[in-house]
Amino acid sequence: MQETQGKSLMESMLLRAVRPYKSGQCDGGDTVDILIDRGVISRVGRDIVPPRDIPVVDGGGKLVLPGLVEAHTHLGYSFLGLPWFRNNVGSNLQDKINAEKAEIKRRRIDFQLQAERQLAHSLALGSTFLRGHVSIDTDTGLEPLEGVLRAQEKYKELLEVQIVAFPQAGLTSRPGTIALMEEALSMGADVVGGLDPAQSDRDPKGSLDTVFGLAQKYCKPIDIHLHEPGELGGFSTDLIIERTKSLGLQGRVTISHAFCLGDLKPADIARTLDELAQNQISIMTTAPAGRACPSAAQLVRAGVTVCSGSDGVRDSWSPFSTGDMLERAKLVAMRNNFRRDIDVELALRACTFEGAAALGIADYGVEEGCSANLLVVPGETIAEAVINHPVDRIVIKGGHIVARNGSILENTLFG
């Protein structure tokens, strides 16, 4: 087996004896072999005889999942690999923004290095797709983005990274930010971010017109952080729906968090979910245990694409996230009180197939014709793999083994 020789991805290999996960099925399928031809799954079947000279990897009857989708994290500001951050930050938003800026300065954070550490960490746990928000802010300027762009480039063969230009300190309310956002999008940020148009920018119409205007000008999708609660969040959601519809941006807009969908009145939630579904607006939820949030089951029933993410991984905002999207599926299941295997599978779907749909990832899955981005993990059922989220993992990207047991195979990286 040549798993650590050379970094050329898009390789060929035969993965023997694995049980593929398909969306909506709570057991892995029958045990099959998977033939990968230059990074693409070319055959799934029994007793495949491999072409000469390609590596053969024994899956030992384990499950094989498509690469996990980390649909919402922040890049550049994680403290992964650094001493523990003793969190004594106040509870309001401004406290948190100030604390982050102070800590970034105090620790002289190297944005590229921290982004790389986080990408390596996510990949090692099986995420082969990741959407990361990078703060675009008149204080720090474009330095964080520059570092994260370099990390994205360095990892491009290993992990598909989408960078969101995220106006964390305010967009229209903070002079100079719009120009920075334009620069960020010109430099290569992949997605236009937004933030609480009412509570942060104090001007829901102006804020959202700006976000949607940038998306049109630069032909990029949109991903808006919406923490606004109850009826206020419902109003902002309506404004997002109206613009998505009138500008024909169906399938290009994600609302992240959307806490209001957990505490609006039931009839308002039902109407809003229908309109989100009609306009193909995806909802990203981390499924926080400590506050109201959208019901994953309700979203799915309404036909809304629901994806999930870690949010910040070990940063000054919160210490909890490990960046493990299998564990995240467990947290989604726990938050939604999903105890049945069939419901736990729905939670994993948010971290796989639904995430791929939200992020516009093509050729996703464990079927012939799909890209060979795979995670091999033990589990009698999908639920067992999610709930144990074991360290025992093999991560395959482009037909190449890139990580085992939670660690990147270093030779694979940039060797």
Binding site for a second copy (CB under 8 A): 26, 83-84, 86-89, 287-291, 317-320, 330-331, 333-337, 339-342, 344, 379-381, 383-384, 387
- Angle at alpha carbon of residue 148, lines to 146 and 154, rounded to 5°: 105
Find the shortest distance in angstroms from Cβ 298 to a second copy.
13
Find the shortest distance in angstroms from Cβ 25 to a second copy.
12
Find the shortest distance in angstroms from Cβ 381 to a second copy.
5
Find the shortest distance in angstroms from Cβ 358 to a second copy.
22
Instruction: Calculate the CA 83 to chain-centre distance.
Output: 25
The dihedral formed by the CA atoms of 108, 117, 183 and 194, expressed in degrees to the nearest 10: -100
Find the shortest distance in angstroms from Cβ 318 to a second copy.
5
Q: Determine how many CB atoms are found less than 10 A away from the CB of residue 233.
A: 26
At residue 84, the 3 state secondary structure works out as coil
Find the shortest distance in angstroms from Cβ 289 to a second copy.
4
The answer to whether residues 195 and 222 touch, using CB atoms and an 8 Å cutoff, is: no
Find the shortest distance in angstroms from Cβ 240 to a second copy.
26
CA 26 – CA 32 distance, rounded (Å): 17
Nearer to a second copy, 112 or 336 (CB): 336
Nearer to a second copy, 26 or 54 (CB): 26
Q: Determine how many CB atoms are found less than 10 A away from the CB of residue 405.
A: 11
Nearer to a second copy, 217 or 340 (CB): 340
Nearer to a second copy, 96 or 174 (CB): 96
Find the shortest distance in angstroms from Cβ 361 to a second copy.
28
Nearer to a second copy, 203 or 392 (CB): 392
Q: Determine how many CB atoms are found less than 10 A away from the CB of residue 37.
A: 17
CA 123 – CA 117 distance, rounded (Å): 10
The answer to whether residues 306 and 276 touch, using CB atoms and an 8 Å cutoff, is: no
Q: Is 47 exposed, middle or buried (0-12, 13-18, 19+ CB in 10 A)?
A: exposed
Cβ-count burial 193-206 (b if 16+ within 10 Å, e if not): bbbbbbbbbeebee
Token match 């230059």: residue?
A: 38
